[in-house]
Amino acid sequence: MAIRVVRENGDEILRKKSRIVEKVDDKIIELIEDMLDTMHKYNGVGLAAPQVGVLKRVVVIDLYDGNEPLKLVNPIIVKTKGKQEVEEGCLSFPNQYAKMIRPEEVIAEALNEKGEKIKIKAKGLLAQALCHEIEHLDGILFVDNMIPGTLEYVEPQKNN
């Protein structure tokens, strides 16, 4: 597959609302695979299609926990429970992190890469990632909901 360019803060596409995917076809599957390759190249936990310049409601998430990555089409959160304070970053905001309040648990519904309806019950980091990536689909960025005054830049590690 292909590594796509990650759109960064200031790119107007990140503020646009993504369109519903009418059919999970070969083009959507190619997009999903490219998004996974791109996310893995940059060591991301999640990636939404607008971050690679495509205004479609497609999200990928990989917690690197031995489970298969999630490949979600038209995901929505249908229920939330509890609160957790978390530190969050975003591939569209390289080396920047902020504290957020996110639900501790969520239930999401989506289509998988086969076009089948699935339900995901998530806690902790997965709940956080689902919220973050689904917000991208509506043009909402993590800095919009961060705890004020917590955004910080972390100098990237240099490889010797």
Catalytic residue set? 133
- In sign, the C-alpha dihedral spanning 58, 89, 77, 118 is positive
Report the alpha-carbon distance of residue 97 to residue 87 in Å, rounded.
7
Tokens 């909901």 identify what position?
145
- In Å, how far are 100, 134, 137, 158 from 63, measured between CA atoms? 19, 16, 20, 24
